[in-house]
Every structure is written in C-alpha cells, then in structure tokens.
Copies of this chain bind each other. A is one copy, B any other.
C-alpha cells in the first residue's frame, strides 16, 4: 500500500544535469482528438521499463473540442500522487499553449507544434519544435486518419528525447490495438517517424530521462472504477441498478463487461445477474432496496447528485434495516458544478444522510487495491449489519490509471448475514421476531420472501420488535436504541485505520482516500527538507475505531488533511471522538478540483507549525 521508503537509488538522480525517473510529462490537447491511446502507450512503456508511474487525465465537462491535459508522472521512489510542477510539456493545443508554457518553472522542456512558435514566449525553457503536420503527412496517406495518428508522433519524439525503448512502446501499443494489423502498422510508422525526426532534428538539452528499474515487476495498471467493478464481480453481486453519471459511469459499465464475460451460465447461456439502467437515482436505489429485501446482493453506483436524490431511500433502508451497497465516486458540488473535477466533499452528507436520526457506515478506499477489497467488504458489512454501506471513492481514484500490486483472491467466503432458515427458526422455537435483538449486537434476524420462513411487514420506524405496526413511544425508543447499538457493532467490524507511528514524531497526520498518496510523499518531504518527523493514521472507514482516539491523544497537533473546503472529516472527528482531544485537530485543506499534491500538504503543515 504505502510507497516504498527504502531503496531510493541516489546515484540515479545524482548528477544535476541528468534527472532520471523523477519527472512529470504533460500532454496538453483537446478532448475527442484521440490522444488517449498515445498517452496510455507512453504511460505503459515507462511502466514496462520498471519505473513507477501514474497517469491523470484532466478533462472538461463536454465531449469534444475543449482543452484536456494528460499528466504522466514517473518516480523512482514510487510516488504516484499528483506532482504540482510539470517538467516536460507536450503542447498540442493552440488554445492553451501560451498559458501552459508560461506556467512552467525555468529549465523545463516543451515539445510543441512548430507553427505555434512557442519558443518566442520564454528564453528559460528548452524548446523542441516539431512540424507534426509535415511528419504525419508522410506516414499517413488518409487525411481523415491524420488527426489521430499525429498523437503517436509525439510518443515517438518523447521516446527519443527521454530514451524510452521503442520496443516497449510497440508492446504497449499492441495491447491497445490488439489484433488490428493495419492500425498497428500505421501507428508504428508514426512512432518511428517521430523518433527519427527527433534523432535527426532535435538536440537533447533537457535533463530528463527514463532508465530501466525493477520497481513495477508483477504490478498492474488499472482505474479505481474498474478495480471496484472487479470487487463487485468477486463479491457475487446479483442485482445492479444504476443511472449514468460522471465520474461513476465507468464502474457499472466495467461491471457489465465483467459480468457478461464471467457470470453467464456456461450450460444455459443465461445470466446469474440482473443489471438495470434505471430512470434515475431514486429508482436505482429503490430497486437495490427491493432486491436486497428479497435476498439479492444488490448495489448502485453514483456521484454526489445521486446521493442527494437517494437520501429518502437511504433513511428508509437505515430504519427498515435493509442492506444496500452504494458507491459514491465523489466530484465537486453541486449538480451543475464541475462534474469532471475531484473532491472528498460528500463525507458529512453520506455519514448523516437522510432526515431524522441516522448514521451510516462509510468505507473509504485509497488505492485501486482497496477499491477491489472494500467492494467485497461493503457487501459483507451491508448484509451483516442490514444497513446501507457507502463506498466513498472519488474521480481521481475512480477514473485515473493507478499502479498496484496484483489483487489477491478473497479467501473468506461471502457473509450473507443473519438470514432466517429452518434450523435457525428451530432455535427461536416459535419466538422469532424480525426486530428482536437476540444476539445483543443490535442486529436482528430477517426472513426472506419466497423461502417459506415466517413473513413480516416491512415499514420504517413505526413497528415493535415483532414488526407489528406500533406508534407506542416505548417501541420507538427501543427501536432507535437498538439501531444505535447496531452502529456500535459496526464500529467493531469496519476496516481498521492504517497507523504509522514514528517514535520521534512531534505531530500526527490523519488522512483518507486518495489524499493518502500526497501525504505519504509529503511526510518524506517534511522529514528530509524540514526535519519534521510525523506519525500518520489513515482512516479507512466510519464509524471510527478506538485507535483513532489513541492516535490523536499522542500528539499536541494532529493535521487532518482532506480534499474539501469545510474540513468535513475533521468535523466528523470532533463529533465522534473524545472531545478532550478536539483542540489537537487542525485542518489542511485542498479543494480546487485537482487531485491534492504533496507540496500543498507539506506547505500547509509547515505554515501552521511555524506559527506553532
């Protein structure tokens, strides 16, 4: 999980004139121009050379023609969070080229489309003009294909300038194009033409290069949404109801792909699952609630706006005690906000979702691996606790490409929770009641329709523990107290935080989700550049477990780092942890819609440490 702190090869980045495997490449283009293939080939080829990478796509909320930036970070220490500075710019978009160039730090490199004449803008950068149209015309006769092929040319240029093996690019390319010989040939030609042009016309004047390493052996590249979909596949999900929304759509859509491939009964050709594109998010969650109520493993996936619309059903499911797995791939608010920008802004709304007294279980993956694992946890917890469980991912994790060790096959069987069967009914010897707390954990036993078990009538909170209609004050209180007890049980079942205690740490850091990557890197920066040693607790779930209190108590100042404006997790901590420690908690916030970066974290902490 955490970035390997050991084995940083100093010799590599030693000479100032050469910066090896530690830089970021940004491709500035417009969406719909087909640059995605070229960008993935670039990402993969570096990855295949054993160098840790990450790829982040910053795209607009439209379909084609607006500025898009794809950023690849290569880092020999394994940092895969966002890096603020761009080291190597590939400026393909006339509209943004000027701003893109002006925002670079001195000494950085720029590959650009010759006619843009960007070299006139600054003298402190390394410029590589490339006549893309001329080169593409030579390799591609079909005019209408040129727009696409053009992109492979910059891959060729970069291969030469950063000394990336063409063989690796070819390998990566064939993964994309698979068995399309014609397309392969055309693109390879473009790659080679680009490399050739660079070799003959450009003289390397920037310090950046890629060198073989062994840091990615056996690792994979995947987006969080695909990883979560895989988790659902292996969780044995049977009913999926969803409504399209960015950045969630690719989760159910990946899942559809996996299910069609692996969940069709070999003999009959029939599906062991039902996936429905509902008319909206209210209906989607309604279907999930209905399906869970009659015994399916059911889920939905959405983003903030969907969570807002689902609030009423979430409250019903909490009180009627019905499982429901809800993925929230967070984006910034509100509905006509920036659907293609990332945030951790739904923490409080999800934890307290719906009117009346409610508290919900949240699982918060930080990595693609956790997207896979927590998807399975979510179903087990939701059925065990008979309550909705939110998986709070975000756009950065869900839609961007992350490096990870391979996922491990779940050894523990599915936990379908307390479902009444003949044997259990025996034990009750006639005294079964839907909402009786027989195990003193707040979790009652439920019966499923169509199983010949005793039936009951499902309502919100207006029932006694036999599930009979009741408006009696004492029944209502009993009900609410048991639900509170059940939440205490949840506290013992949710994934524990990951804690890194440094003996000589003066301060603590708390973070969660994708913020983790920036924090990991920032902790190294703080130690190495400011001599500030930090301990670190990464939250993975709500409700909080006791170790959180213990951690906070150990430090005078605990910085809660998160990607929202209001310090939402800090608020939740103030609400739910020892009030005596409330004073220790401080916020470091990042909420401009871009993934948080290490420098912002380090600076945010140092600024407050200075003033003490």
* A contact residues vs B (CB 8 Å cutoff): 60-61, 303-305, 307-309, 311-312, 314-316, 318-320, 332-338, 340-341, 343, 345-346, 348-349, 352-359, 459-462, 471, 473-474, 476-477, 480-481, 484, 564-566, 568, 571, 574-575, 579-580, 582-583, 585, 591-594
Contacts and interface: CB of A to CB of B under 8 A. Distances in A.
6 contacts: A311-B349, A334-B358, A338-B471, A349-B358, A357-B565, A580-B582
A474 B582 CA distance: 31
Given A61-B471, A582-B580, A308 B304 contact: no
A148 to B, nearest CB: 25
B315 A335 contact: yes
A354 B359 contact: no
A556 B481 CA distance: 28
Contacts of A459: 336
Contact of A471 (B315, B340, B481, B580): B340
Contact of A312 (B308, B315, B318): B308
Closest 8 CB pairs of A and B: A333-B356, A304-B355, A336-B460, A473-B592, A579-B582, A315-B334, A308-B311, A337-B461
Contacts of A333: 315, 319, 354-358, 460-461
A74 to B, nearest CB: 24
B349 A337 contact: no
Contact of A352 (B352, B474, B484, B580): B352
A330 to B, nearest CB: 8
Nearest to A316: B334
A562 B108 CA distance: 60
- Each complex incorporates copies of this chain amounting to 2
Contact of A591 (B303, B312, B359, B477): B477
Contacts of A336: 316, 320, 459-462
A312 B316 contact: no
A334 B461 contact: yes
Contacts of A345: 355-357
Contacts of A320: 334, 336
A314 B334 CA distance: 9
A484 B311 CA distance: 25
Given A60-B471, A308-B314, A341-B471, 19 more contacts: A304-B355, A308-B355, A316-B336, A320-B334, A334-B355, A334-B460, A336-B461, A338-B462, A348-B352, A349-B356, A473-B592, A476-B592, A480-B565, A571-B575, A574-B574, A579-B579, A579-B583, A582-B582, A582-B583
A312 to B, nearest CB: 4
Contact of A593 (B312, B355, B358, B473): B473
B477 A357 contact: no
Contacts of A564: 356-357
Nearest to A565: B357
A83 to B, nearest CB: 15
B311 A461 contact: no
Given A355-B308, A460-B337, A332 B575 contact: no
Contacts of A61: 462, 471
A335 B312 contact: yes
Contact of A357 (B316, B582, B591): B591
B332 A476 contact: yes
A573 to B, nearest CB: 10
A480 B348 contact: no
Contacts of A481: 565
Contact of A356 (B304, B315, B476, B575): B304
A313 to B, nearest CB: 9
Contact of A574 (B305, B477, B480, B575): B575
A308 B355 CA distance: 6
Contacts of A309: 309, 311-312
Contacts of A592: 473-474, 476-477
Contacts of A318: 334
B319 A337 contact: yes
A43 to B, nearest CB: 23
Nearest to A328: B355
A357 B568 contact: yes
A345 B315 CA distance: 12
A348 to B, nearest CB: 5
Nearest to A305: B312
A285 B345 CA distance: 23
Contacts of A357: 333, 345, 564-566, 568, 591
Contact of A308 (B343, B354, B461, B480): B354
Contacts of A474: 592
Nearest to A474: B592
